[in-house]
Chains A and B, each alone.
Chain A
Amino acid sequence: MAKITLKDLSHSYLKTQSSDTDWAVRNVNIDWNDGGAYALLGPSGCGKTTLLNIISGLINPTRGDILFDDKMVSNLNPVERNIAQIFQFPVIYDTMTVYDNLAFPLKNRKIEEEKIKSKVHEIAEMLELTSTLNNRASGLTADGKQKISLGRGLVRSDVNAIMFDEPLTVIDPHLKWILRSKLKELHQKINRTMIYVTHDQTEALTFADQVVVMHEGQIVQTGTPVDLFEKPKHTFVGYFIGSPGMNLLPCELKGGEVIVNGKKIEIHKKVKSNSFKKTEVGVRPEFINFSSDGIPVKVLSVSNTGRHKIVDTQSESGKIKIIAKPNENIPSGSAFLNFKKEYTYAYGDDWIIE
């Protein structure tokens, strides 16, 4: 068990790098606290798996350091780092029984037979695999196999962290819920650092205390699900998290004021003068309401999801989505919108301006 620190970490699969896009992971600085439940969230190809493999030691980073409890581990192999990793597809050893599969990491570490036996039975009990211990592992269903993969990580009581690489990809939807709550329960029981890689925001937000959002190889924000929702630090977090995502409108910054299409907009705090290539103002659909004065829009359509209504409107600067209460009256034709000041932010070149 340890705190994991990544320092100025960058990795590229190419021999020479000429532009930012040649890096799979770039300039990552992050601390994973001992015992935390983290989710690493981002779209496919954003570098999540690369980052995970760097932590476990399967990949050597091009630049930067990895520290466990302030001890350098950059040059250690996966066994020495003592990490457990669960992969997207269940990895089992076909010819072995479930028991032998679970015992395999311990046998490789030359632990005595008695200890192995008690540990395997303990973990099998926890994962509800006891009845199948003597069956051949290859005969199990996908979720059973994934439990074995997980179990092989859990039998070592001293692992520094358990990492999951989209572990529920091949699991049936109705079993996903069960396994996910099982993981959450497990985290509370064994209190080990867990890092969960996913591209599914629901999975990330329900599993983790801290969500790390990655975009094009960079970490764009780390925070609780509420932080990410209420104050996205990057436009990507704004539209990737939430459904529908954040509204972003091009704007001008003049003397600390935000101007959208000639109209001044109040935001959470005054912004400094700037030299950005692109400036935008962002507000989530949840924090917009209709009023008698504000941004003029035309209401295009209203769809009712049951829990709320999603209203599509068209303003001079672009489309704006609004989430309204199911019983709220939606004006038709022309209307005016008011943004909640404390949840409206200005972004310069995609990063929040504060």
Chain B
Amino acid sequence: MNKTINQKAWFFVIPVFVLVAFNAIIPLMTVVNYAFQETFGNNVFMWEGTRWFKQIMLSERFHASLGRQFLFTFIILFIQIPLGIAIALTMPKEGVGVPVCLVLMSMPLLIPWNVVGAMWNIFALPDIGFLGHSLNALGFDYNFTQQIGDAWFTTILMDVWHWTSLVVLLSYAGLQSIQPAYYQAAEIDGASRWAVFTKIELPKMKKVLTIAILLRFMDSFMIYTEPFVLTGGGPGNATAFLSIDLVKMALGQFDLGPAAAMSLIYFFIVLLVCWVFYTLMMRNEGNQ
């Protein structure tokens, strides 16, 4: 059968093209514009070429915040993914417990990010916060506003509290879609609980876990509001992750050129890591 060729069909693409142009391409192009030029305001621009990119790539400040960012993302992935799977495994599969657990689990996801930051800030304050005060009362020297370790501990705890639910819900959905016959067959085959987990549950959860890891990677790699409200990037620059550092450079110091270059580099890192990760996870799907 021959396909009908009608070039007028391109007109149907126009609305989407205009929408995407206005909400993504054009703003991105402004950033690209800034990244290659220097401006002193009044719409006066001077061509700088790749100068800002070189400056950022060689800057120790960028290396440090990038390092902090990767460390933070790895730690929270390392905690949230196994913890999320573990919680999903212990959740009830039927009965009244199901809606109760689901609602409780979704609760942290529904709270606005700056509220989460503010909540944890007050919660962790060493003098009046429940967490901070209790820890000190128990004999720990805890003060997240002054000690680097405590600041990291609190930021990570906050993120685990806020986002583990997402991994739980996705894993739970994956687990629920496994046919009971798989468990029955495993029972008859004499499989241990561990074998059921590694040979049935994990492989069946692979797709949702891929999505969970990708989402958690992207969100945590671009995290801004919560640590900004909680620690403001401090003490010093200890919790100044990439986005916090970027905002400081762009709006604090008004270094628009380097900041634009940095945001482009930032964007490509996210893209690259996601692509590599997705390709690795889906490598064996082709032969199914």
Contacts and interface: CB of A to CB of B under 8 A. Distances in A.
Report if A and B associate in a common complex. Answer: yes
Interface of A: 53, 56, 58, 77-79, 83-85, 87-89, 91, 93-96, 104-105, 108-109, 136, 138-139, 149, 152-153
Nearest to A138: B288
Nearest to B195: A108
Contacts of A95: 199, 203
Contacts of B284: 136
Interface residues on B, range: 10 to 19
Contact of B190 (A79, A88, A94, A149): A79
B181 A88 contact: yes
A80 to B, nearest CB: 10
18 contacts: A56-B188, A58-B184, A58-B188, A79-B187, A83-B188, A85-B188, A89-B179, A89-B181, A93-B200, A94-B204, A95-B199, A105-B190, A108-B189, A108-B195, A136-B284, A138-B287, A138-B288, A153-B188
Interface string B196-218: 00011001100000000000000
Q: Please classify the interface of chain B as helix (H, G, I), strand (E, B), loop, or mixed, using the class held by over half of its residues.
A: helix
Interface in B147-185: 179, 181-182, 184-185
B188 A78 contact: yes
A251 to B, nearest CB: 46
Given A89-B181, A93-B199, A79 B288 contact: no
Contact of B184 (A87, A109, A139, A152): A87
Contacts of A78: 187-188
A311 to B, nearest CB: 45
A272 B146 CA distance: 99
Contacts of B191: 104, 108
A85 B188 CA distance: 7
Shortest beta-carbon contacts, A-B, top 7: A108-B190, A91-B185, A87-B181, A105-B189, A79-B190, A94-B203, A93-B199
Contacts of B253: none
Given A93-B199, A95-B203, A85 B184 contact: yes
B192 interface: yes
Nearest to A152: B189
Interface in B87-125: none
Interface of B: 179, 181-182, 184-185, 187-192, 195, 199-200, 203-204, 284, 287-288
A136 B181 contact: no
Nearest to A77: B187
B185 A87 contact: yes
Given A89-B179, A108-B191, A96 B185 contact: no
A79 B190 CA distance: 6
Given A136-B284, A139-B288, 8 more contacts: A58-B187, A58-B188, A78-B188, A85-B184, A95-B203, A104-B189, A105-B188, A138-B288
A104 B195 CA distance: 10
A99 to B, nearest CB: 14
A108 B192 contact: yes
Contacts of A94: 203-204
Given A95-B199, A139-B287, A139-B288, A53 B184 contact: yes
B199 A96 contact: yes
A84 B184 CA distance: 11
A219 B184 CA distance: 25
Contacts of A149: 185
Contacts of A85: 184-185, 188
Contacts of B179: 89, 91
A96 B284 CA distance: 12
Contacts of A152: 185, 189
B162 to A, nearest CB: 32
Nearest to B204: A94
B202 to A, nearest CB: 8
A85 B186 CA distance: 10
Contacts of B188: 56, 58, 78-79, 83-85, 105, 153
A3 B199 CA distance: 33
